[in-house]
Structure 1
Amino acid sequence: MDVSVLDRLPAPVQAELDRRQAALPAIAALVEADEDEPVLLAGSYATGEWNPTSDLDLLVLTKRHRPRRAPGTTNHPSILGDSFDGLAGDLPVNVEYVSAERLHDLARVLANTTGDGGTVDLPNLQALEIRLVQRVHKGVALSGTGELDRYRAWLDLDAVRSAATALAFVGTLSLLGDTTVLASPTRELMCRGAAESLLMSAVNAFGPLTHDGKHLLTRAASISRLSDVPELFGRIEPLLFAERLPHEEALGLVLDLAEDLYRSFTDPRCPARVLPMLAPFVPAWSWTGRTWPATEHGLAKTGRAFAGEGA
């Protein structure tokens, strides 16, 4: 890659690279990209959330199936593409290559979320897929902006935020159900997982698209400073340590916060499709003894329309 592409890095990132003595030519030598292929600054350096252990993440949206492996790098192939780790000085650099074909496959999954009879299906997105959408939409474009705009238009961010929120919420109720039949210490492990999953659901509902725990607490703390947010954001510590309570008390706490979060999904700040995606799961939650307001024809009565459907 031409080193001049890296001149478009945000000034704070360039200052951090200078401080780390990470030479731009050394970074450019790790990247293979054609002139018209989008190259994005991704990850923590793109969001301004980096710390001393953060990699510099670069994403190349490529028409190639397999780029060359730069000398001295290691590859972590996945179903989405190849991901190479290298060094520029002492700075870890990750360069990920994802083909336009994989983006199109993901776009096709998202387009199929609308089911029969007005229902909205819940796509079973995995963490790598959610991360990819986050990086495509929130990454800093260094080249290929025309192509990037086209790819961003393919990937429905509201559908992905809705799915990430709903999947984590379903996971919460599933893990809580496990705590009612499993013995200690597995019961406490499931309770901890349920609490983390509920926080993940809440952050995706009210904040940026989030796929793992790295920035979960800092993002939740930022959301807690907003007005009129779910109770959960004011009780993060009790939630995350709920497994230390007697089981019935822990179960009651997490269910209380889950019920409150569920009711908040009608908030206009939340992605529009969460409640319709959750509707098929509601009957299975009768064991909780809680109220999960019904939806009509799978659509929440919020007055909001989905993207492309009048709003």
Structure 2
Amino acid sequence: MNVALLDRLPSPVRAQLHDRRIELPPIAALVEADEDEPVLLVGSYASGEANPTSDLDLLVLTKRRRRRRRPGTTNHPSIFGDSFDGQVGDLPVNIEYVSQERLHDIAQVLAAAAETGGVDLPNLQGLELRLVQRVHGGIALAGADELSRLRAGLDLDTVRSAATALAFVGTLSLLEDTTVLTGPTRELMCRGAAESLLVSAVNAFGPVTHDGKHLVSRAARISALPDVPLVFAHAERLLFSDRLPLDEAREFILDLAQELFRSFADPRCPSRVTGMLDPFVPTWSWTGRGF
């Protein structure tokens, strides 16, 4: 990759690299991209959430598949493409290559859901949510026009709606498991339900979040906003609710879930959450709550 493209890194990122005495040419040497392929800064450095252990993450949206391994890097391929890990000084660098066909596949799923008026719930899993989040939240270093075209096919409102709804459905499903299972599996299900509820809340009021890495810090930032659901104020107790007596934990999670469900009508939330959840509401009669 042309090292000049790294001059487009945000100034705070360049300042961080400079402070760590990280040179740009060795980073550019790890990346192989065609001239017309978008290259993005993604991950923690793009979102401003980097810490001293964070990788510098770069994403290349490829138009053709070919071997791109650079000397000194290790690969962990997936169904979405190739991901190479390298090292520049004390900085881990990750370069991910994902075919634009994968984005088109996700776009088709979203389009099919839109045809139903937003009632169908796209079953977007972690890797798919991660990819969409990176494409929409990444900072273009190359191929900005092509990136804009690709982003247009990934309706972020539908993605956030699906991420919110899927996590909420997961909360109630895992919590129902606690009514029939025994420990320690029961406690694991309780913990999973609590985390899923916080993921649902963050997706509703914040950025697309697919795992626990930035969950607590994002929830803390949202808690400072006016008139947000109580789940944010009680995030720490929620995440450790499996340490409470089971009946108390279950009622605590259900109280927060019921309030969050009502808050999905808030205009700050993605618009299709309630419609995607409607088919599931009858299955929650076991809670005795009015969802």
- Give the alignment's TM-score, normalised by structure 2: 0.98
SS in structure 2 at match of 1:238: helix
Q: CA deviation at 1:233?
A: 1.0
Other-structure match for 1:295: none
Equivalent residue letter for 1:69:
R
**Offset of 1:114 from its aligned partner?**
3.3
Q: After superposition, what is the alpha-carbon deviation per residue over 1:211-245, rounded to whole angstroms, capped at 9, x for unaligned?
A: 11111001000000011100111111221111111
Mapped partners of 1:155, 1:110: distance in 2: 7
1:34 and 2:34 equivalent? yes
Matches of 2:39 and 2:114, distance apart in 1: 32
Partner amino acid, structure 2, of 1:257: L
Q: Which residue of 2 aligns with 1:263?
A: 262
Instruction: Provide the residue aligned with 2:23 in structure 1.
Output: 23
Q: Is the 8 A contact 1:72 1:86 kept in 2?
A: yes
In structure 1, C-alpha distance between the alignment counterparts of 2:279 and 2:121, rounded to whole Å: 9
Amino acid at match of 2:287: T
1:82 aligns with 2:108: no
Partners of 2:16 and 2:118 in 1: CA distance: 48
Structure 1 gaps of 5+ residues are 293-311
Match of 1:283 in 2: 282
Number of the residue aligned with 2:111: 111
C-alpha distance in 2 between matches for 1:67 and 1:50:
29
Separation in structure 2 between the aligned mates of residue 290 and residue 78 of structure 1, nearest angstrom: 41
> Paired residue for 1:56?
56
The CA distance in 2 between the partners of 1:125 and 1:209, in whole Å, is 12
Give the aligned residue type for 1:113.
A
* 1:6-27: CA deviation from partner (whole Å, max 9, x where unpaired): 0110111011111222211100
- Aligned twin of 2:202: 203
Instruction: Quote the Cα distance in structure 1 between the aligned partners of 2:109 and 2:251.
Output: 36
CA deviation vs aligned residue, 1:164-212 (integer Å, no higher than 9, x gap): 0000000000000000101111111110110000000000000111111
CA distance in 1, matches of 2:125, 2:204: 17
Give 2:225's aligned residue: 226
- Separation of aligned partners in 2, 1:144 and 1:99: 14
Aligned to 1:303: none
Whichever residue aligns with residue 30 of structure 1, its letter is L
CA displacement, residues 98-139 of structure 1 (integer Å, 9 cap, x when unaligned): 1111111110011111355x4621111111110111111110
The one-letter code sitting in structure 2 at the alignment partner of 1:210 is T
Structure 1 residue 254, shift from structure 2 partner: 0.2
Equivalent residue, structure 2, for 1:246: 245
Q: Tell me whether 58-67 or 256-265 shows the greater mean CA deviation.
A: 58-67
Q: Is the 8 A contact 1:67 1:97 kept in 2?
A: no
Encode CA deviations 1:38-65: one digit per residue, 9 max, x unaligned: 1100000001100010000000111121
Report if aligned partners of 2:118, 2:272 keep a CA contact under 8 Å in 1. no
Q: How many aligned residue pairs are there? A: 291
- Pairwise mapping of residues 147-186 of structure 1 onto structure 2 (< 5 A)? 147-186=146-185
Distance in 2 between the 1:98 and 1:173 partners? 34
Contact 2:85 2:94 in 1 (8 A): yes
Task: Give how far 1:29 is off.
Answer: 0.6
Residue 67 of structure 1 deviates from its aligned partner by 3.6
1:69-124 Cα distance to aligned partner (Å, 9 max, x none): 100111111111111101112210000011111111110011111355x4621111
- Comparing 13-22 with 227-236, greater Cα deviation is found at 13-22
- Mapped to 1, the partners of 2:44 and 2:238 lie a distance apart of 26
Misfit runs of 4+, over 6 Å: none
RMSD: 1.0
Secondary structure class of the residue paired with 1:113 = helix
Q: Secondary structure at the residue paired with 2:93?
A: strand
Q: What is the match of residue 302 of structure 1? A: none
1:210 and 1:216 in contact (8 A); partners too: yes
Work out the CA distance in 2 between the residues paired with 1:191 and 1:248: 11
Amino acid at match of 2:179: T
Letter in 2 for 1:90: D
Matched to 1:253, the amino acid is F
Rounded to whole Å, the distance in 1 between the matches of 2:187 and 2:170 is 15
